[in-house]
Structure 1
Amino acid sequence: MASIVYGLCALTALACAVLLLRAYRATQSPILWWSGLCFCGLMASNVILVVDKLVVPTVDLLPLRLATTLLSMGLLLYGLVNRSE
């Protein structure tokens, strides 16, 4: 059951990233770009979670997951603070 939830979280983040980046391409709004990049990073973090918990459970990938999530949130924060219209 956990593997289904992990996979659905990754797919949801991927869908959000695709929709945000498609909207950015249509409108050229900077906040959509930074939000799309954030969700790309969150999707990567969820994929790392799947690998961590299901593929190689003996290896601890928590630092990599946290770094990926921190970088993603940092991108969104940068976009919100420095690139607002």
Structure 2
Amino acid sequence: MSNAGQLVVYLLCLLTSATCAGLLLRNYIKIRTRFLLSCATCFTMLTLNNFMVLMDLILLPAMDLLPYRHMAALAGICVLLVGFILDVE
């Protein structure tokens, strides 16, 4: 796949996760449930991860952001997991 094709795919992934985070945050502001907050935080961290993928692989290929990408993804999944555990009633 060419650089332009990769850029389009990574941008679409970034926009999708940012849209999900935004919609979840908007719903959290209306409803105020802890589970929506954990989901919104998870998608915010996944958006950060997608942004770092774009930076790492396309815009700044000389820099290695892999550990930071993994930390952002792990933080998002951990927040979601804690949200699942705390939401069980």
TM-score under structure 2 normalisation? 0.90
State the percentage of identical aligned residues.
35
1:30–1:84: 8 Å Cα contact kept in structure 2?
no
Give the C-alpha shift of residue 56 in structure 1. Answer: 1.1
Partners of 2:70 and 2:36 in 1: CA distance = 23
Structure 2 segments unaligned to the other structure (5+ residues): none
SS of the aligned residue for 1:26 comes to helix
Provide the alpha-carbon RMSD of the alignment: 1.0
TM-score under structure 1 normalisation? 0.94
Match of 1:22 among 26, 37, 43: 26
Q: Deviations over 1:10-62 (max 9, x none)?
A: 10000000100111111111111100000000000000000001111012111
The match for 2:59 is 55
Find runs of 4+ consecutive structure 1 residues off by over 3 angstroms.
none
